[in-house]
Protein backbone atom coordinates (compact mmCIF):
# COMPACT_ATOMS: atom_id res chain seq x y z
CA UNK A 1 0.00 0.00 0.00
CA UNK A 2 2.84 2.41 0.80
CA UNK A 3 4.43 1.72 -2.58
CA UNK A 4 1.10 2.27 -4.32
CA UNK A 5 0.50 5.68 -2.75
CA UNK A 6 4.09 6.84 -3.34
CA UNK A 7 3.79 5.85 -7.00
CA UNK A 8 0.32 7.40 -7.29
CA UNK A 9 1.74 10.74 -6.19
CA UNK A 10 4.94 10.46 -8.23
CA UNK A 11 3.24 9.37 -11.45
CA UNK A 12 0.75 12.23 -11.11
CA UNK A 13 2.87 15.12 -9.81
CA UNK A 14 5.66 14.93 -12.39
CA UNK A 15 3.43 16.98 -14.73
CA UNK A 16 3.87 19.90 -12.31
CA UNK A 17 7.26 20.51 -13.99
CA UNK A 18 5.61 20.84 -17.42
CA UNK A 19 2.91 23.07 -15.91
CA UNK A 20 5.54 25.37 -14.41
CA UNK A 21 7.21 25.60 -17.84
CA UNK A 22 3.89 26.48 -19.48
CA UNK A 23 3.78 23.25 -21.47
CA UNK A 24 0.88 21.53 -19.69
CA UNK A 25 -2.43 23.18 -18.76
CA UNK A 26 -2.72 20.98 -15.66
CA UNK A 27 -0.24 20.47 -12.80
CA UNK A 28 -1.29 16.86 -12.24
CA UNK A 29 -1.82 13.69 -14.32
CA UNK A 30 -5.11 12.21 -13.20
CA UNK A 31 -4.33 8.68 -14.40
CA UNK A 32 -1.32 8.38 -12.05
CA UNK A 33 -3.21 6.27 -9.45
CA UNK A 34 -4.33 3.87 -12.21
CA UNK A 35 -0.76 3.44 -13.45
CA UNK A 36 0.43 2.94 -9.87
CA UNK A 37 -2.13 0.18 -9.35
CA UNK A 38 -1.07 -1.57 -12.56
CA UNK A 39 2.61 -1.46 -11.59
CA UNK A 40 2.08 -2.71 -8.03
CA UNK A 41 -0.33 -5.46 -9.11
CA UNK A 42 2.00 -6.60 -11.90
CA UNK A 43 4.90 -6.88 -9.45
CA UNK A 44 2.99 -8.46 -6.55
CA UNK A 45 0.10 -10.47 -7.99
CA UNK A 46 0.88 -10.80 -11.67
CA UNK A 47 -1.76 -11.61 -14.25
CA UNK A 48 -4.39 -12.60 -11.69
CA UNK A 49 -4.19 -9.25 -9.91
CA UNK A 50 -4.35 -7.26 -13.14
CA UNK A 51 -7.33 -9.24 -14.42
CA UNK A 52 -9.07 -8.65 -11.09
CA UNK A 53 -8.67 -4.88 -11.48
CA UNK A 54 -9.72 -4.85 -15.13
CA UNK A 55 -12.77 -6.98 -14.38
CA UNK A 56 -13.91 -4.39 -11.82
CA UNK A 57 -13.57 -1.67 -14.45
CA UNK A 58 -16.08 -3.40 -16.73
CA UNK A 59 -18.39 -4.75 -14.02
CA UNK A 60 -21.66 -3.38 -15.36
CA UNK A 61 -24.16 -5.77 -13.78
CA UNK A 62 -25.25 -3.44 -11.02
CA UNK A 63 -28.73 -2.48 -9.85
CA UNK A 64 -30.14 0.31 -12.06
CA UNK A 65 -30.69 2.36 -8.91
CA UNK A 66 -26.95 2.73 -8.42
CA UNK A 67 -26.53 3.93 -12.00
CA UNK A 68 -29.11 6.60 -11.18
CA UNK A 69 -27.21 7.54 -8.02
CA UNK A 70 -23.89 7.73 -9.88
CA UNK A 71 -25.25 9.93 -12.66
CA UNK A 72 -27.74 12.13 -10.81
CA UNK A 73 -26.43 12.60 -7.26
CA UNK A 74 -23.52 14.90 -8.26
CA UNK A 75 -25.93 17.06 -10.27
CA UNK A 76 -28.39 17.23 -7.38
CA UNK A 77 -25.76 18.25 -4.82
CA UNK A 78 -24.22 20.83 -7.14
CA UNK A 79 -27.66 22.29 -7.93
CA UNK A 80 -28.48 22.56 -4.22
CA UNK A 81 -25.20 24.39 -3.56
CA UNK A 82 -25.80 26.75 -6.49
CA UNK A 83 -29.36 27.40 -5.35
CA UNK A 84 -28.18 28.27 -1.85
CA UNK A 85 -25.54 30.54 -3.33
CA UNK A 86 -28.14 32.44 -5.36
CA UNK A 87 -30.35 32.76 -2.29
CA UNK A 88 -27.40 34.33 -0.49
CA UNK A 89 -27.06 36.94 -3.23
CA UNK A 90 -24.79 35.36 -5.84
CA UNK A 91 -25.26 36.41 -9.47
CA UNK A 92 -24.91 33.44 -11.86
CA UNK A 93 -23.63 33.99 -15.38
CA UNK A 94 -26.46 33.98 -17.93
CA UNK A 95 -24.09 32.71 -20.63
CA UNK A 96 -23.08 29.76 -18.48
CA UNK A 97 -26.72 28.91 -17.76
CA UNK A 98 -27.30 28.58 -21.49
CA UNK A 99 -24.34 26.24 -21.89
CA UNK A 100 -26.02 23.27 -20.17
CA UNK A 101 -26.11 21.08 -23.36
CA UNK A 102 -22.32 20.99 -23.22
CA UNK A 103 -22.56 18.82 -20.09
CA UNK A 104 -23.17 15.69 -22.15
CA UNK A 105 -20.17 15.78 -24.52
CA UNK A 106 -18.01 16.93 -21.61
CA UNK A 107 -19.13 13.92 -19.58
CA UNK A 108 -18.28 11.56 -22.47
CA UNK A 109 -14.83 13.05 -22.94
CA UNK A 110 -14.01 12.95 -19.22
CA UNK A 111 -15.12 9.33 -18.98
CA UNK A 112 -13.46 7.98 -22.11
CA UNK A 113 -10.16 9.87 -22.37
CA UNK A 114 -7.57 9.20 -19.64
CA UNK A 115 -6.01 12.35 -18.27
CA UNK A 116 -8.89 14.72 -19.00
CA UNK A 117 -10.77 14.21 -15.77
CA UNK A 118 -10.91 12.45 -12.46
CA UNK A 119 -12.70 9.31 -13.66
CA UNK A 120 -9.39 7.62 -14.40
CA UNK A 121 -8.22 8.08 -10.83
CA UNK A 122 -10.82 5.56 -9.73
CA UNK A 123 -9.22 2.28 -10.86
CA UNK A 124 -6.40 3.21 -8.48
CA UNK A 125 -8.31 4.67 -5.54
CA UNK A 126 -11.34 2.39 -5.57
CA UNK A 127 -10.17 -0.56 -7.68
CA UNK A 128 -6.90 -1.10 -5.82
CA UNK A 129 -6.73 0.90 -2.59
CA UNK A 130 -10.21 0.63 -1.07
CA UNK A 131 -10.48 -3.18 -0.90
CA UNK A 132 -7.10 -3.28 0.82
CA UNK A 133 -7.74 -0.36 3.18
CA UNK A 134 -11.04 -1.95 4.21
CA UNK A 135 -9.24 -5.14 5.25
CA UNK A 136 -9.08 -4.96 9.03
CA UNK A 137 -10.87 -1.58 9.20
CA UNK A 138 -14.41 -0.32 9.04
CA UNK A 139 -15.47 1.16 5.73
CA UNK A 140 -15.70 4.59 7.39
CA UNK A 141 -12.16 4.51 8.80
CA UNK A 142 -10.84 3.29 5.45
CA UNK A 143 -12.68 6.16 3.75
CA UNK A 144 -11.19 8.76 6.08
CA UNK A 145 -7.66 7.44 5.50
CA UNK A 146 -8.15 7.44 1.76
CA UNK A 147 -9.83 10.85 1.84
CA UNK A 148 -6.79 12.44 3.51
CA UNK A 149 -4.45 10.87 0.95
CA UNK A 150 -6.62 11.91 -2.01
CA UNK A 151 -6.88 15.45 -0.64
CA UNK A 152 -3.09 15.59 -0.41
CA UNK A 153 -2.83 14.25 -3.96
CA UNK A 154 -4.87 17.26 -5.16
CA UNK A 155 -2.44 19.75 -3.59
CA UNK A 156 -0.89 20.88 -6.92
CA UNK A 157 -4.34 21.88 -8.19
CA UNK A 158 -4.92 23.94 -5.05
CA UNK A 159 -1.51 25.62 -5.18
CA UNK A 160 -2.08 26.44 -8.86
CA UNK A 161 -5.44 27.99 -7.99
CA UNK A 162 -7.39 25.60 -10.20
CA UNK A 163 -9.48 24.36 -7.27
CA UNK A 164 -10.29 26.04 -3.97
CA UNK A 165 -8.86 24.82 -0.65
CA UNK A 166 -12.43 23.97 0.37
CA UNK A 167 -11.89 20.88 -1.78
CA UNK A 168 -10.05 19.34 1.19
CA UNK A 169 -13.38 19.19 3.03
CA UNK A 170 -15.29 18.19 -0.10
CA UNK A 171 -12.89 15.34 -0.90
CA UNK A 172 -13.09 13.89 2.61
CA UNK A 173 -16.89 13.85 2.43
CA UNK A 174 -17.04 12.70 -1.20
CA UNK A 175 -14.71 9.78 -0.46
CA UNK A 176 -17.22 8.44 2.06
CA UNK A 177 -20.08 8.85 -0.41
CA UNK A 178 -18.18 7.29 -3.30
CA UNK A 179 -17.10 4.34 -1.15
CA UNK A 180 -20.75 3.91 -0.16
CA UNK A 181 -21.63 3.59 -3.85
CA UNK A 182 -18.66 1.28 -4.47
CA UNK A 183 -19.56 -1.12 -1.65
CA UNK A 184 -23.24 -1.21 -2.57
CA UNK A 185 -22.41 -1.71 -6.24
CA UNK A 186 -20.45 -4.81 -5.14
CA UNK A 187 -17.08 -3.41 -6.09
CA UNK A 188 -17.86 -1.99 -9.52
CA UNK A 189 -15.19 0.53 -10.52
CA UNK A 190 -17.25 1.37 -13.59
CA UNK A 191 -20.00 2.86 -11.41
CA UNK A 192 -17.63 5.16 -9.53
CA UNK A 193 -15.94 6.20 -12.78
CA UNK A 194 -19.37 7.26 -14.03
CA UNK A 195 -20.00 9.15 -10.78
CA UNK A 196 -16.65 10.95 -10.92
CA UNK A 197 -17.08 11.92 -14.57
CA UNK A 198 -20.62 13.15 -13.88
CA UNK A 199 -19.40 15.27 -10.98
CA UNK A 200 -16.59 16.83 -13.03
CA UNK A 201 -18.92 17.53 -15.97
CA UNK A 202 -21.84 18.94 -13.99
CA UNK A 203 -20.23 20.56 -10.95
CA UNK A 204 -16.75 21.39 -12.22
CA UNK A 205 -17.61 22.37 -15.81
CA UNK A 206 -21.12 23.79 -15.45
CA UNK A 207 -22.23 24.99 -12.01
CA UNK A 208 -18.92 26.23 -10.60
CA UNK A 209 -18.03 28.43 -13.64
CA UNK A 210 -21.38 30.21 -13.19
CA UNK A 211 -19.90 32.27 -10.38
CA UNK A 212 -16.88 34.54 -10.03
CA UNK A 213 -15.05 36.36 -7.26
CA UNK A 214 -16.55 36.03 -3.79
CA UNK A 215 -19.56 34.20 -5.25
CA UNK A 216 -17.22 31.50 -6.59
CA UNK A 217 -15.52 31.06 -3.21
CA UNK A 218 -18.90 30.76 -1.49
CA UNK A 219 -20.04 28.22 -4.10
CA UNK A 220 -16.99 26.09 -3.29
CA UNK A 221 -17.73 26.09 0.43
CA UNK A 222 -21.45 25.48 -0.08
CA UNK A 223 -20.64 22.54 -2.34
CA UNK A 224 -18.34 21.11 0.33
CA UNK A 225 -21.13 21.59 2.89
CA UNK A 226 -23.75 19.67 0.92
CA UNK A 227 -21.32 16.80 0.37
CA UNK A 228 -20.63 16.74 4.12
CA UNK A 229 -24.36 16.55 4.82
CA UNK A 230 -24.66 13.72 2.30
CA UNK A 231 -21.78 11.84 3.92
CA UNK A 232 -23.37 12.20 7.37
CA UNK A 233 -26.66 10.83 6.00
CA UNK A 234 -24.85 7.87 4.44
CA UNK A 235 -23.12 7.02 7.73
CA UNK A 236 -26.32 7.42 9.74
CA UNK A 237 -28.48 5.31 7.42
CA UNK A 238 -26.03 2.67 6.21
CA UNK A 239 -23.69 2.37 9.19
CA UNK A 240 -19.93 2.92 9.44
CA UNK A 241 -18.89 -0.74 9.31
CA UNK A 242 -19.85 -1.54 5.72
CA UNK A 243 -21.44 1.69 4.47
CA UNK A 244 -24.11 -0.74 3.29
CA UNK A 245 -27.15 -2.36 4.84
CA UNK A 246 -27.20 -5.20 2.30
CA UNK A 247 -23.61 -6.10 1.47
CA UNK A 248 -20.38 -6.41 3.40
CA UNK A 249 -17.63 -3.99 2.52
CA UNK A 250 -15.33 -5.00 -0.30
CA UNK A 251 -12.11 -6.52 1.02
CA UNK A 252 -9.04 -7.92 -0.64
CA UNK A 253 -7.79 -10.76 1.58
CA UNK A 254 -4.19 -10.78 2.71
CA UNK A 255 -1.77 -12.63 0.41
CA UNK A 256 -1.25 -15.27 3.11
CA UNK A 257 -4.91 -16.30 3.00
CA UNK A 258 -4.61 -17.75 -0.50
CA UNK A 259 -8.15 -16.63 -1.36
CA UNK A 260 -9.59 -13.89 -3.51
CA UNK A 261 -12.04 -11.06 -2.95
CA UNK A 262 -14.57 -11.15 -0.16
CA UNK A 263 -17.33 -8.69 0.52
CA UNK A 264 -19.98 -9.85 -1.95
CA UNK A 265 -22.00 -11.61 0.71
CA UNK A 266 -24.98 -9.92 2.38
CA UNK A 267 -24.08 -7.77 5.37
CA UNK A 268 -26.51 -9.74 7.53
CA UNK A 269 -24.55 -12.97 7.13
CA UNK A 270 -22.58 -13.13 10.37
CA UNK A 271 -22.38 -16.89 10.77
CA UNK A 272 -19.41 -19.22 10.49
CA UNK A 273 -18.69 -18.13 6.91
CA UNK A 274 -18.61 -14.45 7.85
CA UNK A 275 -16.38 -15.14 10.86
CA UNK A 276 -13.99 -17.19 8.75
CA UNK A 277 -13.67 -14.41 6.17
CA UNK A 278 -12.95 -11.82 8.86
CA UNK A 279 -10.47 -13.95 10.80
CA UNK A 280 -7.81 -11.61 12.09
CA UNK A 281 -9.63 -8.46 10.89
CA UNK A 282 -11.78 -5.80 12.47
CA UNK A 283 -14.24 -4.21 10.40
CA UNK A 284 -13.37 2.24 0.87
Cα(153)–Cα(129) distance, rounded to whole angstroms?
A: 14
Least confident of 36-50, 80-94, 111-125, 244-258: 244-258
Split at pLDDT 50, 70, 90, the class of 281 is: very low
Domain contains 212? yes
Least confident of 3-7, 26-30, 125-129, 275-279: 275-279
- Residues 138-149, mean pLDDT to the nearest whole number: 98
Structural domains in the chain (count): 1
Strand partners, 247: 266
Mean pLDDT over each residue of the chain, to the nearest integer: 89
182 and 284 in contact (C-beta within 8 Å)?
A: yes
Domain contains 43? no
Domain contains 237? yes
Cα(112)–Cα(114) distance, rounded to whole angstroms?
A: 7
- Residues 87-98, mean pLDDT to the nearest whole number: 91
Domain contains 133? yes
Percent of the chain topping pLDDT 70: 89
244-279 pLDDT tens trace: 999 999 998 766 555 455 454 455 433 322 322 232
Number of H helices, E strands in the chain: 15, 0
> What Å distances lie between residue 187 and 62, 136, 154, 253, CA to CA?
10, 17, 24, 14
168 and 37 in contact (C-beta within 8 Å)?
A: no
Domain contains 49? no
pLDDT of residue 67: 97
186 and 250 in contact (C-beta within 8 Å)?
A: yes
27-79 pLDDT tens trace: 999 999 999 999 999 999 999 999 999 999 999 999 999 999 999 999 999 99
Domain holding 108, by residue range, is: 62-277
Domain contains 39? no
Q: Assign 3-state DSSP to the chain and report helix, strand, coil percentages, each to 5.
A: 70, 0, 30
188-216 pLDDT tens trace: 999 999 999 999 999 999 999 999 999 99
pLDDT of residue 95: 85
Backbone angles phi, psi at 248, to 5 degrees: -75, 150
pLDDT of residue 253: 75
Amino acid sequence: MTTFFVLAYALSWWVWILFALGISPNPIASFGPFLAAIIVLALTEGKAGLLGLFSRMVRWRVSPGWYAVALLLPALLAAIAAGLNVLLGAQPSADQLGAWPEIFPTFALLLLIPGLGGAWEEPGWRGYAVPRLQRGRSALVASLILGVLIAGWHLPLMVAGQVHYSDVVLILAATIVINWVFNNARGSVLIVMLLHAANNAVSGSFFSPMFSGADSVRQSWLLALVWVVMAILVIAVYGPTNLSRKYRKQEEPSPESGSRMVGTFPAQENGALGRAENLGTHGM
